[in-house]
Amino acid sequence: MSAVPDPASTSTGSAKFEGLGYYWQVILAFAQNSLIRDMTFRTNFLLECVSSISWTMMNVGFYLIVFSHANSIGASTGWGKYEFFVFMATTWIVNSLVETFFMPNAEEFSELIRTGGLDFALLKPIDTQFLISFRKMDWSSLSNLMMALILLAFSLWQLTHRPENPLQLHFSILFFYPLYILCGVAILYSLTITLSATSIWLGRNQTLYDFWFYITNFSRYPMEIYQRGWGMALWGTFTFVIPVLVVVNVPARLLAQPLHPRAWWEWPLAGFTVVAAILSLLASRWVFQRALLSYRSASS
């Protein structure tokens, strides 16, 4: 921090207050603490894993039933059974990452505002948004990530090994798929933190979380299903205004749909996703800081 070293500080003290390494260490400490907390109640942890896995299995069951009656989601959209399972696995990967890292914090944030506990977060010598966003991790949500990876591997194996027209994967997907997963997580994170930051103005707003659920609900399906009639308005809104539709669609499409032929709009859409992710992050940062300016402490 200061040019003059503080004699009282140890070697691990204030000198490390800057730089990414410091933030990384803090994240690791948060992760460790959360894991310790989760492991204190092991049965509870296991039950939570089982419960989130059961919900996902139920979803698989539903689509297995659907695909026993129909051969794809939409005519000639290319979302056949295993393509759609890749899509679903992608949804879970993104959602489980958001649920592991950000959802518990967003919930906590509203509570901190209501109780005035945010004072202590503001006092800490670290970026407040960073502190608020990463404090807690819900490790049990990662069980869904495991399930998603299994489903993804299984579906991809099916797609690449089918007798007719097997899917060919380009090695660049190893770079692009994780990149677009990260973009998706960034967009959803921005939405979460923006929604919870508004509780500074609104006091406490539980319906916001319902709102969050209902908005992300739109992101769970291939965007082609909206591209008709008055669905175009929905498609436009959730692609360009609140870009939740690109969160899953872009990475899933890159992975599950054949390289040739790519529709003309796919690469522009992919480019747009990166821009949307960056803009969402910036917008959430702006909203967060504006909200902090309006924060009046409570009950201290």
Partner 1 sequence: MTALATELSSRLMTWWIILRIALEERLVYRGDFALGTLMRFLPIVTQIFLWWAIFESVPTAAGSGQTKALVGYSFPDMVAYYLLTMLGRAFSSMPGLASGVARQIREGEVKKYLTQPVDLIEFLLLGRVAHKLAYYSVATIPFALVFFLCRGYFSSGMPDVYTLSIFIATLLMSFLLGFFMEVCLGLVGFWFLEVSSLLFVYMLFNFFLSGHMFPLDMLPEPWRSLVEYIPLKYLAYHPAAIFLGKIPREQLLFELGIEIAWLIFFVFLARWMYARGLKRYSGFGG
Q: Is 51 in the site for partner 1 (CB under 8 A)?
A: yes
User: Minimum CB separation from partner 1 for residue 95, in Å?
Assistant: 15
Long-range contacts of the stretch 272-276 (C-beta < 8 A, 24+): 272/246, 273/180, 273/183, 273/184, 273/243, 273/246, 274/179, 274/183, 276/183, 276/187, 276/243, 276/246
- For partner 1, which is the closer residue by CB, 63 or 154? 63
Stretch that binds partner 1, among 29-37, 64-72, 157-165, 186-194 (CB under 8 A): 64-72
Instruction: Tell me which residue of 189, 172, 133, 138 sits closest to 251, measured CA to CA.
Output: 172
Out of 5, 203, 210, 283, the only residue in the binding site for partner 1 (CB under 8 A) is 210
Out of 9, 25, 32, 54, the only residue in the binding site for partner 1 (CB under 8 A) is 54
Q: How many residues bind partner 1 (CB under 8 A)?
A: 33
Instruction: Tell me which residue of 264, 106, 252 sits closest to 193, measured CA to CA.
Output: 106
Provide φ and ψ at 213, rounded to 5°: -60, -45
DSSP state of 204: -
Stretch that binds partner 1, among 60-68, 170-178, 246-254, 267-275 (CB under 8 A): 60-68
- For partner 1, which is the closer residue by CB, 211 or 240? 211
Q: Side chain identity at 226, as an amino acid letter?
A: Y
Is residue 78 exposed (0-12), middle (13-18) or buried (19+ Cβ within 10 Å)? middle
Out of 228, 232, 263, 282, the only residue in the binding site for partner 1 (CB under 8 A) is 228
Q: How many CB atoms lie within 10 A of CB 99?
A: 21
Question: With contact defined as beta carbons under 8 Å apart, do 238 and 219 qualify?
Answer: yes
CA 121, chain centre distance (Å): 23
Q: Is 68 in the site for partner 1 (CB under 8 A)?
A: yes
Q: Is 207 in the site for partner 1 (CB under 8 A)?
A: yes
User: Minimum CB separation from partner 1 for residue 58, in Å?
Assistant: 6
Question: With contact defined as beta carbons under 8 Å apart, do 295 and 203 qualify?
Answer: no
User: Minimum CB separation from partner 1 for residue 76, in Å?
Assistant: 8
Question: With contact defined as beta carbons under 8 Å apart, do 295 and 113 qualify?
Answer: yes
Sketch the per residue contact string, 163 through 202, with partner 1: x for CB under 8 A, - otherwise.
Answer: ----------------------------------------
CA distance 196 to 234: 24
Out of 14, 31, 60, 72, the only residue in the binding site for partner 1 (CB under 8 A) is 72
Q: Is 241 in the site for partner 1 (CB under 8 A)?
A: no
- For partner 1, which is the closer residue by CB, 56 or 133? 56
CA distance 90 to 95: 8
Q: Is 225 in the site for partner 1 (CB under 8 A)?
A: yes
Q: Is 69 in the site for partner 1 (CB under 8 A)?
A: yes
The residue to which tokens 């959209």 are assigned: 77
Q: Is 226 in the site for partner 1 (CB under 8 A)?
A: yes
Out of 5, 203, 231, 236, the only residue in the binding site for partner 1 (CB under 8 A) is 231
- For partner 1, which is the closer residue by CB, 16 or 228? 228
CA distance 280 to 193: 11
Site for partner 1, rule CB under 8 A: 47, 51, 54-55, 58, 61-62, 65-66, 68-75, 77, 207, 210-211, 214, 217-218, 220-222, 224-226, 228, 231, 234
